[in-house]
Amino acid sequence: MIDAELFRGHRLQAWAAVASMIALIANAGDLSANEVAKPATATAVVPAAAPASTTSTETEKPAAAAVAEPAPPPTPAKELFGAMTSPAQLEARALGFYSKGCLAGARALPVDGPAWQAMRLSRNRNWGHPGLVALVEKFAVEARDFDGWPGMLVGDLSQPRGGPMLTGHNSHQIGLDADIWFTPMPDRRLSNKEREDLSAVSMLGPDKLSVDDKRWSPAHVQIIKRAATYQEVERVLVHPAIKKALCEASASTTDRAWLGKVRPIFGHHYHFHIRMSCPPGSAGCVAQAPPPTDDGCGKELTDWFALLTRPPAPPPAKPVPPKPPLTLDQLPAECRTVLEVGIAKPVEPAPQRSLAPASAKSKSVAKSAEKTLNQK
Ligand SMILES: [Zn+2]
C-alpha cells in the first residue's frame, strides 16, 4: 500500500483527478502545497484541495411566508484568519492540527537573514511558532556553512494568527510548516518586487518523472538530508521524482533513517516543505501519525510512479460538490481567543485556558487589527 496517510484504495482515483489541478497550481508558483495530512488519532482522511467555495447567495426562500429566514451560513474561517494582519499577543502555542487549527503568539521570520530571504512578502505569511522560526534560521545558516548552499529563499510559513488561508495551502495553519524553494538564493538582496515576481524553478525534467540534472545537484540532496535529520522535523514533503533521486543518491550508504521522513506527495518540485512535530509544551497541538519507519525507497515509491503514469480517471458522472470551508466552530475553541485577542473588547480569560493575556504593547497592533476587522 502506498503511504497510508494519503491513500486508501478507492481514493486513488480521486487523487488522480486532483493531480492535474495541483500541477496547475504548482506551475503558477510556489503554492503547490496541498499537504494532506491525518491526525494521529483520527480515522478520516482530509480530502485534497477543495475547489474555491461558493457562497450561499443561491439559497432558496421558503415557500411559506411564516417560515423564519434561515440563518446565514457562518463566515468561513479562512476569511477571518486571512484578514488578520498581526499576531495574537499570547503565549506561543500551535493549536489544533496542521490542516485544522490556528497559532497563538506567532513570531515573524525576519525577511532578511544572514542566510535567507523571505519571498512573496505581500502575502504576510512569514509567521510561525517561535520554534519553527528558530528552526528555519538554524537550517539556513547550517546549510550555508556545511552544505555549500548559498542561502535560502523561504516561501510561506503561516499567517500572523495561523488558521486556514484564502488561497493555497490546506496545511500551514498552526505555524509548524515552512516552504523552502529549491532555487538557491542569489548573492544579493532581492527587491520587494523581485520577491513577488521571481519564479521558482521546477526540479523536474521534461518527462515529469525524474529530476533535471541540469538543475538538481548534490547540494539539494544535502540540504534535504539536513532538514530531515533535525530531531524537531517530523516530515519533509517532496515530489516522488525527488524522493527517487534522494533514494538513488543514498543507494550505497547505510545512513538512511532520514529518508523515511522524506515523504512523496504531488507538487513540491518547486519547493520542499518542512513540517515540525508539535513543540514541547504546546498543549492543544494535535500530532500527525508518525511516518513509516522504513526508508520508503521500495514499494511505496513504485506505487507512486504507477500512480503518476496511469491515465487520468474519467470525470465522475455526477459532479462532486465541494467540501464546505472550515468554520471557526470546527477549529479548536481557543482559536476564537486567538482571533479576538487585541482586536475588539478584551476577552475574559477563561480559567481553564493557559493562554497568556495580551501584552500592554499590543495597543497599536490592536488598532490596526480592529481596522481590518471593521472592514469585513
Ligand atoms: Zn507547504
Give me 66's grid cell.
411564516
234 CA to centre of ligand 1 in angstroms? 14
Mean pLDDT over residues 285-305, rounded? Answer: 95
Whole-angstrom distance, CA of residue 84 vs CA of residue 214: 41
312 CA to centre of ligand 1 in angstroms? 25
Judge whether 250 lies within some domain: yes
- Pure H helices in the chain: 11-27, 77-82, 130-147, 192-197, 218-229, 240-249, 299-309, 334-340, 363-375
Whole-angstrom distance, CA of residue 364 vs CA of residue 289: 40
- Please, which residues have CB within 8 angstroms of residue 168's CB and are 6 or more apart in sequence? 25, 31, 33, 156
Judge whether 80 lies within some domain: yes
Judge whether 305 lies within some domain: yes
155 CA to centre of ligand 1 in angstroms? 8
Judge whether 171 lies within some domain: yes
158 CA to centre of ligand 1 in angstroms? 10
Residue 310's CATH number: 3.30.1380.10
In DSSP notation, 168-237 reads S-SS--SS-EEEEEEEEPPSSPPPHHHHHHPPP---B-TTSSSB-TTT--HHHHHHHHHHHHSTTEEEEE
Reported as a single tens digit per residue, the pLDDT across 169-209 is 999 999 999 999 999 999 999 999 999 999 999 999 999 99
Residue 36, pLDDT score: 52
Judge whether 67 lies within some domain: no
Whole-angstrom distance, CA of residue 9 vs CA of residue 100: 24
For residue 33, which of 276, 268, 204, 203 has the smallest C-alpha distance? 268
Residue 199's domain comprises 11-47+74-375
365 CA to centre of ligand 1 in angstroms? 27
Whole-angstrom distance, CA of residue 6 vs CA of residue 26: 19
63 CA to centre of ligand 1 in angstroms? 47
31 CA to centre of ligand 1 in angstroms? 7
Residue 344, pLDDT score: 54
371 CA to centre of ligand 1 in angstroms? 30
More confident: 35 or 229: 229
For residue 33, which of 238, 193, 225, 221 has the smallest C-alpha distance? 238
Residue 174, pLDDT score: 98
For residue 358, which of 373, 347, 350, 372 has the smallest C-alpha distance? 347
Reported as a single tens digit per residue, the pLDDT across 9-31 is 344 344 444 444 333 333 333 33
> How large is the C-alpha radius of gyration of the chain?
21
Reported as a single tens digit per residue, the pLDDT across 58-106 is 444 444 455 678 888 899 999 999 999 999 999 999 999 999 999 999 9
Contact of 150 with 187, CB cutoff 8 Å: yes
253 CA to centre of ligand 1 in angstroms? 29
195 CA to centre of ligand 1 in angstroms? 18
For residue 145, which of 137, 153, 134, 155 has the smallest C-alpha distance? 137
Contact of 264 with 239, CB cutoff 8 Å: yes
284 CA to centre of ligand 1 in angstroms? 22
Whole-angstrom distance, CA of residue 324 vs CA of residue 360: 38
Beta strand pairing call for 112-113 and 233-238 = unpaired
Judge whether 312 lies within some domain: yes
Reported as a single tens digit per residue, the pLDDT across 221-252 is 999 999 999 999 999 999 999 999 999 999 99
Mean pLDDT over residues 106-113, rounded? Answer: 98
348 CA to centre of ligand 1 in angstroms? 35
Question: Which neighbouring-strand residues pair with 177?
Answer: 275
Task: Report CA torsion sign: 145, 147, 152, 157.
Answer: negative
Q: How many structural domains are present in the chain? A: 1
Judge whether 57 lies within some domain: no
180 CA to centre of ligand 1 in angstroms? 8
Give me 171's grid cell.
496545511
pTM for this predicted structure: 0.76
Residue 17, pLDDT score: 40
347 CA to centre of ligand 1 in angstroms? 32
Reported as a single tens digit per residue, the pLDDT across 307-361 is 999 998 888 899 888 899 999 999 999 999 999 998 755 445 555 544 544 444 4
Judge whether 233 lies within some domain: yes
